[in-house]
């Protein structure tokens, strides 16, 4: 986005190694926790807020989503779909918490606080009066059109109020 569209990009990151990686790539980043990191921003400061692979690690989803929708005109959310058939089969056949490409950590060594499905997130948006502008469902190599809650590894939603 920075190179192709001359976008002004600013990040919030808790992990120090990730901060160094951002700075090395020329990105502006603040060392903060997203659970409390948006208070200082005025309403509609940004065109887009991107929460990619973040929801499952956030403590207070309600607050972060409300703040993201306040600070950004639109919010892009991406997350691994815990209801994917591979995860279901691993749990059903082996009786163990799934470890997959999109959920690569064992249950005792994961940064994830929660595991959500596409249907869970759609229900959350409906309950919170969040408008879904677009949704994209991703398999390993291409998009998923049929039964995304079952077949998509990851989901991306574009949201607004």
Q: Which two tokens stand for residue 144?
A: 């998923």
Among 149, 136, 113, 117, CA closest to 35: 113
Q: So what's the pLDDT on residue 122?
A: 98
Of 89, 36, 95, which is closest to residue 66 (Cα–Cα)?
A: 36
Q: Which residue has the higher pLDDT, 136 or 14?
A: 136
Contact indicator for 155, 56 with CB cutoff of 8 Å: no
Asked if pLDDT for residue 8 goes beyond 90, the answer is: no
What are the extents of the domains in the chain? 1-32, 43-160
Closest Cα to residue 68, out of 96, 48, 98, 94? 48
- Terminal-residue alpha carbon distance, the chain: 24
pLDDT tens, position by position, 31-68: 888 888 688 899 999 999 999 999 998 999 999 999 99
Quote the CA–CA distance of 149 and 26 in Å, as a whole number: 36
Residue carrying the six token digits 């409390």: 36
144-159 pLDDT, tens digit per residue, is 999 999 999 999 999 9
pTM: 0.89
What mean pLDDT value characterizes the chain?
Answer: 92
CATH fold for the domain made of 43-160: Rossmann fold (3.40.50)
Confidence band, pLDDT 50/70/90 cuts, at residue 1: confident
| φ/ψ (deg, to 5) at 150 | -95, -40
At residue 156, the pLDDT reads: 99
**Pairing mode of beta strands 154-160, 46-52:** unpaired
Q: What pLDDT is stored for residue 157 in this prediction?
A: 99
87-105: per-residue pLDDT in tens?
Answer: 999 999 999 988 888 788 8
CA–CA separation, 46 and 41 (whole Å): 9
């Amino acid at each position: 986005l920075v190179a192709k569209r001359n976008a002004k990009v600013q990040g919030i990151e808790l992990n120090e190694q990730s901060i160094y990686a951002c700075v090395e790539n020329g990105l502006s980043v603040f060392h903060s926790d997203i659970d409390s990191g948006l208070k200082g921003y005025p309403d509609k400061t940004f065109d887009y807020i991107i929460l990619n692979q973040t929801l499952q690690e956030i403590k207070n989803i309600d607050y972060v989503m409300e703040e993201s929708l306040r600070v950004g005109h639109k919010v892009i959310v991406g997350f691994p779909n815990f209801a994917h058939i591979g995860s279901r089969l691993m749990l059903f056949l082996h009786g163990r918490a799934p470890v997959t490409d999109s959920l690569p950590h064992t249950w005792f060594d994961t940064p994830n606080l929660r595991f959500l499905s596409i249907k869970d997130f759609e229900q959350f948006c409906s309950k919170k009066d969040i408008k879904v502008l677009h949704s994209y469902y991703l398999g390993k190599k291409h998009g998923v059109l049929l039964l995304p809650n079952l077949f998509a590894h990851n989901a991306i939603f574009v949201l607004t109020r």
